[in-house]
Structure 1
């Protein structure tokens, strides 16, 4: 058997994840025919068929599905070997692809990510900002910032801020005009600022108070699929928002917003996540340390959970 090309193996893995020659080609800056040729070459070397191709779809064969995890292991081993040879103290180079929620990424992380890239001139930073939850198995990213708890054992995570929480906030002007809710149930009588993600409206707010969990169904006339717009509406006095402390802490400290109901919101830890520990490259580990030192002070002023 001839030597399998590393690039062909990479294109196989990405094509399997994306389900399309053309999408994989755009990602790699190639022509679809070049990707198809790479897959055909790999199939010849392996003497098996990896994909079933129709005019409308592309899917793995049974043999391709069996082979795919081995391809991932080989690619991960090569990345890890390169990182070990270079060492943790080697100059960072190559491309680091990072995904982050748009609100957190734009208002909190952006200057620090820029400073990290500036400190490593040979490193390219590709930043994806979106409120859609990044699929770190499918999307072309090395690492993703993820808010909230997750129980999926297939992910691995580097903790950044385990004590972050959601808090209820409103502007002093709103509280003066409408009063502050004195209980969770009283939220039903207030204008709540709603967030929509993936077509789903988040109008069931979860709380942890005195060690008990509760859910309150809220309503409001303002709804947006951009989390930062919800924060801006709250600052403008349009209603009550239920946001990550990382998103509203600066507004609370500046007096533009105030915390309601003792800040008894649900935990919302911040982590860096990826599918496999072998993807924690020197660049990822150094970014984790760089941000850990800078993020911790942002919890200043967060009310102590009861």
Structure 2
């Protein structure tokens, strides 16, 4: 970097008070040092040194420029160091987007654990069930269910075998009965997830080649996965959610999985970036960490 080299020559010459000594330390010729000083003086429009036959010393303008150049060199060197890809150092700041329920109840505790392992890393989160535009938002990566709609994006699998599962609370099932076949969902209050453009009311199941698609109806809709979960746990109806989201509540008895001999829609969980060059050591390490931890939960 030419500017960095010129500033370094200027700083060393001021430090040594001698063109010859600066040249020796920098391993260049005295003529090269002189040419650099002259070039900087022309660019700055002022004399940087007062020269005598034996030594040189800074002018008032040179002293001011020395301080500014030292600050600039420090900033440039710090910037260069910060972008070096050191696979042994997980540092920097990650900006992540992820679904609300998954983020709040599953990912955040894992991020805390990951950051304990890498204390020089900082993370900011955007929790939303809306599809975040990675091209226009200042987000490094998104943790998403399903494949990205844009085929130019890079999707790295975290939980490729994740699927949806129908669940309800023990209280709901005790009050309204336990359906034994997906087709019986038409007789139950179903809690549906919605987006700005779509009601996700088609619940699909398969079993040994048999398919069953149900139009789920009910009196509760939400565009937030955590809201659907809360309604399910409080006994308001049956939900159809990611197994990753639901498994902890199934394990602790807050929810009961239905139709376990059927499989719901596949919704793989991926780490998505717009370009593979965004895959820093921190992102790669986080993806590996989440993949290992989340596979244990499904």
Do Structure 1 and Structure 2 share a fold, with TM-score over 0.5?
yes
Inter-partner Cα distance in structure 1 for 2:249 and 2:152:
36
CA deviation vs aligned residue, 1:121-173 (integer Å, no higher than 9, x gap): 33221111111112222221111101124564212121111111100011122
Alpha-carbon shift at residue 120 of structure 1 (Å): 2.6
Q: Which runs of 5+ in 1 are unaligned?
A: 4-80, 300-306
Inter-partner Cα distance in structure 2 for 1:157 and 1:149:
7
Are 1:268 and 2:272 an aligned pair? no
Inter-partner Cα distance in structure 2 for 1:244 and 1:113:
20
Inter-partner Cα distance in structure 1 for 2:163 and 2:81:
38
Inter-partner Cα distance in structure 1 for 2:212 and 2:174:
27
Match of 2:252 among 240, 251, 254: 254
Inter-partner Cα distance in structure 1 for 2:204 and 2:134:
26
Match in the other structure for 1:240: 238
Match of 1:148 among 146, 149, 154: 146
Alpha-carbon shift at residue 214 of structure 1 (Å): 4.4
Is contact 1:83-1:282 (8 Å) kept? no
Alpha-carbon shift at residue 208 of structure 1 (Å): 3.2
Runs in 1 of length 4+ with deviation above 4 angstroms?
Answer: 81-85
Inter-partner Cα distance in structure 2 for 1:142 and 1:178:
46
Is contact 1:83-1:281 (8 Å) kept? no
Secondary structure of the residue aligned to 1:103 is helix
Alpha-carbon shift at residue 244 of structure 1 (Å): 0.6
- Counterparts of 1:39-50 in structure 2 under 5 Å? none
Are 1:277 and 2:240 an aligned pair? no
Secondary structure of the residue aligned to 2:297 is helix
Is contact 1:167-1:259 (8 Å) kept? yes
- Counterparts of 1:48-59 in structure 2 under 5 Å? none
Q: Which runs of 5+ in 2 are unaligned?
A: 4-79
Inter-partner Cα distance in structure 1 for 2:180 and 2:97:
38
Match of 2:176 among 175, 178, 195: 178
Inter-partner Cα distance in structure 2 for 1:193 and 1:85:
48
Secondary structure of the residue aligned to 1:238 is coil
CA deviation vs aligned residue, 1:66-89 (integer Å, no higher than 9, x gap): xxxxxxxxxxxxxxx989953311
Secondary structure of the residue aligned to 1:298 is coil
Match in the other structure for 1:136: 134
Are 1:189 and 2:187 an aligned pair? yes
Are 1:208 and 2:188 an aligned pair? no
Inter-partner Cα distance in structure 1 for 2:147 and 2:263:
17
Alpha-carbon shift at residue 201 of structure 1 (Å): 2.2
Alpha-carbon shift at residue 196 of structure 1 (Å): 1.7
Match of 1:124 among 122, 129, 133: 122
Match in the other structure for 2:289: 290
Inter-partner Cα distance in structure 2 for 1:162 and 1:110:
20
Does 198-207 or 93-102 show the bigger shift?
198-207
**In 2 relative to 1, CA 278–231 (structure 1 residues): closer, same or farther, beyond 3 Å?**
same
Inter-partner Cα distance in structure 2 for 1:153 and 1:254:
38
**Greater Rg by CA:** 2
CA deviation vs aligned residue, 1:176-201 (integer Å, no higher than 9, x gap): 22122232222111100112222532
Inter-partner Cα distance in structure 2 for 1:162 and 1:83:
33
CA deviation vs aligned residue, 1:96-126 (integer Å, no higher than 9, x gap): 1111101100000001112323333332211
Match of 2:105 among 104, 107, 117: 107
Is contact 2:183-2:212 (8 Å) kept? no
